[in-house]
């Protein structure tokens, strides 16, 4: 495939008018508040009419940011003005550079000449583009759009005066993610018929890194990994994890915007391929109280992307690495962490309790935060510490690999939102030259540290507070919108009558 990243808009239009000439249908999708893909399938004629215009836009209902994950209108509507107008169409702008083909969907060419001449139809995988959303009236970027948010933060990093770059380089957010998924041997119909209880795990027992367990369900694994490769997800590693039916996928390090899109593609692939084999991949953070749950650990760093003027090739320089030991460092943990990395870490630690809903977005997210299960419970950090919220991954022999592993998120994380918060806080720390005041964790002892919020309710209260650091780094409009979406989850949970309540109180009280 052509190098789309190097093309300008006119070149991209021309490329796709040719590339899609034998595709009768094309899909376009955007992300909603919960990171779910919402989209349409266009005929080739309609799609070509869209990209032939100067703005590459089409109308898409703004309600995708006024509905929850089950299509219920938010009671406390974050889009009051648009709701009162009946949710007019937003302007969806096609992102040409997000182009992929969906490996499990096919369409056949409907070329009239081929049909007349009895030529066999051209069979191709379904094209897919992602979009960014613009406001129906102002045509400004829609504040709730996850892809818009992370793009805004990346551009803020690229233009920050905190970095000294040459004309041939720019600073960019880089990230990878390790996502755990518990699999059930169920279907959509069986989930409903069982009322989502007494579900059959894909495999039994706890068998992390087990080659024996990986020898089971081979068709599903093979097709998922094949689909992920065709979708350019960039899976670097795949293995079993501790828990029944649990696998982990490590998505490779790249620009945080690309990584976030890759995760959306992987989730779509897992759910779609799984359904073909009677398997439900579960991305809940804590689907079973007896087990550790599904984590979504994020690895992050800032890279200076340097373009070679002679051939256009790019190289990366990690801004967190330090090649020589700092003997004056406050703690041994940061002897090989650059000053930029220290300020970045200080920014994240200062803001972590203020942005928790963006890392732990659901009611269920907080059930995973149990220290005995290697999940962080405090605002803490440490070199190679797997009990802290932030693990410093530093190898003095390889400063280019220096990074922070943020262990707070679960598998229900929306990377576009979580990475936006983390990089915005890190940039704030750099620009304000914040110093590390929190010592590294020792002996897995969390008592000296501030504890993370334990519920979505308490996390959202802090997130939307008038003095919230989230407002400083992400803006009032985004915080007010997202807070209302989380309060909706809290209200639904508060109103729900659960099996736990029935079992505990029905007979004995």
Given a cut of 90, whether residue 65 has pLDDT beyond it is yes
Residue 112 has a pLDDT of 62
Whether residue 109 is predicted with pLDDT greater than 90 in this model: the reply is no
**For 37-56, what is the mean pLDDT?**
91
Answer yes or no: is pLDDT of 445 > 90: no
Contact 446, 371 (CB under 8 A): yes
Confidence at residue 310, expressed as pLDDT on a 0 to 100 scale: 82
- CA dist 403 → 45, 173, 257 (Å): 47, 11, 17
Mean pLDDT of 462-490: 97
Rounded average pLDDT over 381-405: 94
pLDDT exceeds cutoff 70 at 506: yes
Average pLDDT of 259-281? 98
Q: Is the pLDDT of residue 90 over 80?
A: yes
Q: Give the tens place of pLDDT for each residue, 125-137.
A: 999 999 999 999 9
Distance CA 40, CA 55 (A): 18
For range 271-283, the mean pLDDT: 97
* Beta bridge partners of residue 383, listed in sequence order: 392
Please give the CATH number for the structural domain made up of 152-505: 3.30.590.10
Q: What pLDDT, on the 0 to 100 scale, is given for residue 110?
A: 63
pLDDT confidence bin for 123, thresholds 50/70/90: confident
pLDDT of residue 111: 64
User: Which of 236, 240, 210 has its CA nearest to residue 225?
Assistant: 236
pLDDT higher than 90, residue 228: yes
Q: Is the pLDDT of residue 117 over 80?
A: no
Instruction: Over range 240-253, report the average pLDDT.
Output: 95
Q: How confident is the model at residue 83 (pLDDT cuts 50, 70, 90)?
A: confident
pLDDT digit string, tens, across residues 136-193: 999 999 999 999 999 999 999 999 999 988 888 999 999 999 999 999 999 999 999 9
**So what's the pLDDT on residue 185?**
97
Q: Enumerate the domain spans of the chain.
A: 4-142, 152-505
Give me the pLDDT at residue 401, please: 95
pLDDT band at 115 (very low <50, low <70, confident <90, very high): low
User: Does position 347 have pLDDT exceeding 70, yes or no?
Assistant: yes
> Which residue bears the tokens 């369409």?
107
pLDDT averaged over every residue in the chain: 94
Query: Are 136 and 82 spatial neighbours (Cβ–Cβ below 8 Å)?
Result: yes
pLDDT of 409 over the 90 cut: yes
CATH code for the structural domain at 4-142: 3.10.20.70
Quick one: what percent of the chain has pLDDT higher than 90?
A: 84
Using CB atoms within 10 Å of the CB of residue 432, give its burial: 0 to 12 exposed, 13 to 18 middle, 19+ buried.
Answer: middle
Average pLDDT, integer, range 67-76: 93
Q: What angle, 0 to 180 degrees and rounded to 10, lies between the N-to-C axes of helices 415-431 and 146-159?
A: 20
Residue 290 has pLDDT above 70, yes or no: yes
Q: Which residue has the tokens 């065709």?
A: 230
Residues 6+ apart with CB under 8 A from 309: 168
Q: Greater confidence, 463 or 123? A: 463
Beta-strand ranges (E) seen in 256-342 are: 280-282, 296-307, 314-318
Which DSSP category does 370 fall into?
-
Instruction: Please give the biggest Cα pair distance in the chain.
Output: 79
Beta bridge partners of 27: 41, 128
pLDDT at 114: 64
Average pLDDT in the 337-355 region?
A: 98
Averaged pLDDT, 332-336: 95
Phi/psi region, residue 71 (left: phi>0; alpha: psi -120 to 50; beta: rest), is left
Q: How confident is the model at residue 74 (pLDDT cuts 50, 70, 90)?
A: very high
Read off the pLDDT of each residue in 237-264 and give the average, rounded to a whole number.
Answer: 96
């Amino acid at each position: 495939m052509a190098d789309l990243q190097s093309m300008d808009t006119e070149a991209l239009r021309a490329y796709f008018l040719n590339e899609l000439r034998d595709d009768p249908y094309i899909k376009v999708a955007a992300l909603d508040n919960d990171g779910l893909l919402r989209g349409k399938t266009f005929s080739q004629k309609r799609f070509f009419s869209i990209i032939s215009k100067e703005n590459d836009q089409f109308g898409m209902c703004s309600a995708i940011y006024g509905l929850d994950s089950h299509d219920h209108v938010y009671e406390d509507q974050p889009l009051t003005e648009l709701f009162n107008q009946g949710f007019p169409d937003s302007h969806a702008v096609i992102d040409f550079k997000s182009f992929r083909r969906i490996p499990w969907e096919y369409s056949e060419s409907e070329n009239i000449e081929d049909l007349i001449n009895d030529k066999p139809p051209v069979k191709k995988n379904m094209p897919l583009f992602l979009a960014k959303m613009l406001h129906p009236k102002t045509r400004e970027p829609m504040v709730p759009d996850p892809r818009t948010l992370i793009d805004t933060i990346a551009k803020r990093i690229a233009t920050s005066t905190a970095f000294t770059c040459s004309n041939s380089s720019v600073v960019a957010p880089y990230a990878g993610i390790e996502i755990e998924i518990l699999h059930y041997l169920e279907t959509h119909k069986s989930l409903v018929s069982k009322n989502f209880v007494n579900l059959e795990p894909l495999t039994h027992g706890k068998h992390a890194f087990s080659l024996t367990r990986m020898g089971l369900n081979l068709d599903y694994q093979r097709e998922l990994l094949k689909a992920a490769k065709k979708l350019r997800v960039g899976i670097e590693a795949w293995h079993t994890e501790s828990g029944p039916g649990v696998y982990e996928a490590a998505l490779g390090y790249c620009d945080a915007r690309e990584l976030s899109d890759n995760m959306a593609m992987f989730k779509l692939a897992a759910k779609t391929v799984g359904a073909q084999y009677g398997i439900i991949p579960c991305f809940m953070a804590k689907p079973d109280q007896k087990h550790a749950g599904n984590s979504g650990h994020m690895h992050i760093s800032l890279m200076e992307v340097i373009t070679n003027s002679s051939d256009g090739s790019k190289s990366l320089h990690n801004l967190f690495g330090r090649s020589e030991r700092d003997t004056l460092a406050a703690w041994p943990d940061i002897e090989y962490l650059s000053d930029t990395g220290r300020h970045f870490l200080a920014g994240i630690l200062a803001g972590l309790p203020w942005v928790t809903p963006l890392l732990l977005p659901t009611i269920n997210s907080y059930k995973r935060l149990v220290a005995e299960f290697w999940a962080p419970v405090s605002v803490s950090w440490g070199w190679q510490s797997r009990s802290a919220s932030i693990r410093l991954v530093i190898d003095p022999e390889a400063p280019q690999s220096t990074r922070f592993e943020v262990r707070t998120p679960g598998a229900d994380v929306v990377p576009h939102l979580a990475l936006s918060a983390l990089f915005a806080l890190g940039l704030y720390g750099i620009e304000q030259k914040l110093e590390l005041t929190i010592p590294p964790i020792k002996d897995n002892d969390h008592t000296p540290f501030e504890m993370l919020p334990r519920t979505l309710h308490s996390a959202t209260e802090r997130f939307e507070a008038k003095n919230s650091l989230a407002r400083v780094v992400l803006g009032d409009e985004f915080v007010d919108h997202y807070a209302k979406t989380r309060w909706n989850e809290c209200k639904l949970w508060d109103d729900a009558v659960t099996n736990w309540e029935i079992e505990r109180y029905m007979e004995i009280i």
